[in-house]
Amino acid sequence: MQTAKCRINAGVCGFVSEVVARCDDSQTVELKITSNCEHITALGGRLGRLDAFEELARRHESTVFAEARDPDVWCCVDCVVPCAIFKAMQSAAGLALGQAVSVEVEVVRG
């Protein structure tokens, strides 16, 4: 079994999410997502098990991103959490290296 864990500080919204992705067979990934954001909590409730190969084959229409865009979830378009979920899924299945990822935003005026 391989497990990937991500803790995501989403930014100015102040929401923090945690993704735990577990995989026993290098393909089927079980997700546990917790967050103080109601939208990410709703997204987590829709994502249980994913076929990592299938998700990678259709990246732009993966279940993760499709569910994040669903009006019943209404995840913000610029939210980094769906990308972190996708990365955790890949890492748990051994299809990507579990490497730290960061985004730093600097606003320069003038």
- Name the CA radius of gyration of the chain, rounded: 14
Q: What is the pLDDT of residues 53-83, one digit of tens each?
A: 999 998 678 999 999 999 989 888 889 999 9
Share of the chain above pLDDT 70, in %: 99
Alpha carbons 82 and 29: distance in angstroms, whole number: 15
Q: Letter for the amino acid at 57?
A: A
Look at residue 59 and give its three-state secondary structure. Answer: helix
Q: In sequence order, which ranges of the chain are alpha helices (DSSP H)?
A: 38-46, 52-57, 63-69, 81-92
First to last CA, the chain: 52
Q: What is the pLDDT of residues 98-107, one digit of tens each?
A: 888 888 888 9
Q: Letter for the amino acid at 78?
A: D
Alpha carbons 45 and 22: distance in angstroms, whole number: 16
Range list of β-strands (E), 24-86: 28-35, 49-51
What predicted TM-score, i.e. pTM, was given to this entire model?
Answer: 0.91
Domains and CATH numbers, the chain: 2-92 (3.90.1010)
Beta bridge partners of residue 28, listed in sequence order:
51
